[in-house]
Structure 1
């Protein structure tokens, strides 16, 4: 069962490392599951998506964690791309904000088919964005992403307006902002939160026994924080003040790794036997 989460000031939330015992209280005698975003959570935000490489220590931590709990990556990246970056077998992978899933025991699942409109919009956006240095259009199976982290400041309004003009000519798509990115995807009732609930429903013996932790840094992760079943813990990763529906905070990807290592030790020593 899920519950609506109230938005709060990030800096008013307890720090997940300092309040670790409180975080894991909900895991006692329950089956844990840990879900994480990638960019800005497991790795620092990079100037270009191709530069956000996972460190080997973090990869090893994920590998060990997956032996003790269900562990998943829920990313805006394309499914094949995020799998290639993480390179850990046995994880649950959700690409394109949950439109494309790979779940051990279930294989690859697409809850909704790719939208044919994306092909036409991609062509039009590539033509439009050629005029703006530093703007990168990323095509994914279920979505598009306009990255403008390296764009000239004077071009930002024109990029936003141009994207909106193109999308106004096509039906069935929506767009929303992230960290220096405009995400474009099918206009459906589907997001990271709905994908999380879908995945949890497929996990064996989950209902009534599971307790998920979700860690993410971006506005798209708020959908997951909002629907986390109780007992569950949402952890927002950011040093900047904002409102969030998470219950705890961490400042940086480095602190995320420290938290995962601490959780791993707890699962090895005092965690539930399953």
Structure 2
């Protein structure tokens, strides 16, 4: 599983970011707002399929993940007829049916792991109970261990406890997000696969007339960015207020800039042709 050094790597990356200059970083990953016209000038006759992460993209990062709410403005924007949802890093998909309804066909490639996921959740809750600030979150197909409020001196202890639990579950792996460890089944599936699945389900997988636009802030969004980069078709935008390595081509600073970009995109598309699809604000 290779948990060793996971949290220490997190600490080093945070400290290392102090040596970077955000303005200089923006030269490599320019603002999607400032670059909007140049991004869109090649797309007036293409259909844009928008993919959006949730925490840190549509909503701010907050201490309690259960209180990661969208602003009223974002809620109003995402009240779209052709909006479709996915969760657990693309492991829980509600795809449209032939009538393009959100409550269409579900796809859950890790469904067989659900009993073990619940076992892992209970074991992690028990093991982390005495570590102040640790929070275990059930995301159905993913278990998250949040350490945002864990004292520095307890991080190694928490890491060890997670590692001990996971020794009993060889079919699972641990990855790092923003002050969180995420436990998922080890299957050949990630947000990049989920994006491709949606494009295929929507009938857009093999056409030059469709451009996927993916906006996300998390390390797991990089899998979708890599797909866009590999295909050489699409727009990948990282949401970040500090410099970081990414496979995206553009950046937005925070959820308020994401909303500004989406509103501008909607106005721009309405002035050209009504062809924006938003399949998944939480993959």
TM over 0.5: yes
Is contact 1:35–1:212 with CA below 8 Å preserved after alignment?
Answer: yes
The range that moved more, 155-164 or 38-47, is 155-164
CA–CA distance in structure 2, aligned partners of residues 220 and 237 of structure 1: 13
The range that moved more, 141-150 or 199-208, is 199-208
Q: What are the within-5 Å matches in structure 2 for residues 105-144 of structure 1?
A: 105=97, 106-115=104-113, 116-144=115-143
Where does residue 84 of structure 1 map in the other structure?
none
Alignment partner of 1:25 out of 12, 35, 41:
41
Q: What are the within-5 Å matches in structure 2 for residues 76-91 of structure 1?
A: 90-91=82-83
Deviation of 1:231 after TM superposition, in Å, equals: 2.6
CA–CA distance in structure 2, aligned partners of residues 14 and 216 of structure 1: 15
Provide the TM-score with structure 1 as the length reference.
Answer: 0.83
Q: Which structure 1 residue ranges, 5 or more long, are not aligned?
A: 1-8, 68-89
Q: What are the within-5 Å matches in structure 2 for residues 183-198 of structure 1?
A: 183-198=182-197
Alignment partner of 2:265 out of 263, 266, 273:
263
Alignment partner of 1:93 out of 85, 88, 98:
85
Where does residue 6 of structure 1 map in the other structure?
none
Q: Which structure 2 residue ranges, 5 or more long, are not aligned?
A: 1-23, 98-103, 277-283
CA–CA distance in structure 1, aligned partners of residues 220 and 171 of structure 2: 19
CA–CA distance in structure 1, aligned partners of residues 36 and 273 of structure 2: 13
Distance 1:153 1:257, change over 3 A: same
Where does residue 215 of structure 1 map in the other structure?
215
Q: Could you give the per-residue CA deviations for residues 73-105 of structure 1, whole angstroms, max 9, x where no partner exists? A: xxxxxxxxxxxxxxxxx4111100001101221
Task: Give the alignment's Cα RMSD to 1 decimal.
Answer: 1.8
Structure 2 SS opposite 1:222: helix
Q: What are the within-5 Å matches in structure 2 for residues 234-249 of structure 1?
A: 234-249=236-251
Provide the TM-score with structure 2 as the length reference.
Answer: 0.81
Give every structure 1 segment of 4 or more consecutive aligned residues whose post-TM-superposition deviation is greater than 3 Å: 271-274
For the pair 1:42 / 2:58, whether they are aligned, the reply is: yes
Structure 2 SS opposite 1:33: strand
